[in-house]
Amino acid sequence: MTAPPDDCLARNEWLCGAYLSSRRQILWEATLQHLQLTVVPVLLGLLIAVPLALAARRWHWAAGPVLGITTVLYTVPSLALFSLLLPVYGLSAALVVAGLVLYSLTLLVRNILAGLRAVPEETRQAARGMGYGPLRLLLTVELPLALPAAMAGLRIATVSAVSLVTIGAIVGHGGLGNLIYAGMNTFFKAQVLTASVLCVLIAVVADLLLLGLGRLLAPWARERRT
């Protein structure tokens, strides 16, 4: 009767240090791809969301269509959205980026618009009375005061993107999701657990970093809450 193997990889255990040491390069590359597929769409979504929120605030008739369209996009299941974008982008990383940009718009536009609308009108009037033009008013008064709400939306959009990146594994561009899906297909326990834990760590670290950045950029919001 043969003795059970001493190697945790051979025993296919969930916790396995040998997996970490032998697959270090694979895990590193998957993590880097996951980070890229998270950061790029969130930044692109932010670049699109700011002018959309400004337009919705400036022209009241635009608020309904902007919020309505972005909300509808968020309700589309991820697999269906990727399938709709497939004829345009093909089986590429751009497909995942485009899908995540569309998903991020709902969270970003709503929070940025809410922050802009929360700026007191008397503050705007006081700035205009001091000679502030529209652009200076926006950059030095309205956007800074809207920053806490915008950062809240950015945090949620980023954490959501971290989880949604894994869906990109269906087209071979899912970062750690590639390892999760491959591990599930072969019931490779250590790979599934390790990649899943790394996804959670990325989400937690990203959320904490953005939380700290928000407090650094808007210290008055923290003081107001206390």
Residue 124: its H or E element: helix 121-129
The DSSP secondary-structure symbol of 120 reads -
Domains of the chain, start order: 29-218 (1.10.3720.10)
Could you please report the per-residue DSSP string of 161-198?
Answer: HHHHGGGGGGGT--THHHHHHHHHHHT-HHHHHHHHHH
Q: How many residues does the structure list for the chain?
A: 226
Counting other chains too, the contacts that 55-60 makes at CB distance below 8 Å and 24 or more residues apart are 56/109, 56/113, 57/113, 57/116, 57/117
| Tens of pLDDT, residue by residue, the chain (226 residues) | 444 555 888 888 888 888 888 889 999 999 999 999 999 999 999 999 999 999 998 888 888 888 888 888 888 888 888 888 988 888 888 999 999 999 999 899 999 999 988 888 888 888 888 888 888 888 888 888 889 999 999 999 999 999 999 988 888 888 999 999 998 998 888 999 999 999 999 999 999 999 999 888 877 666 555 5
Side-chain-facing half-sphere of 155: CA atoms under 13 Å: 17
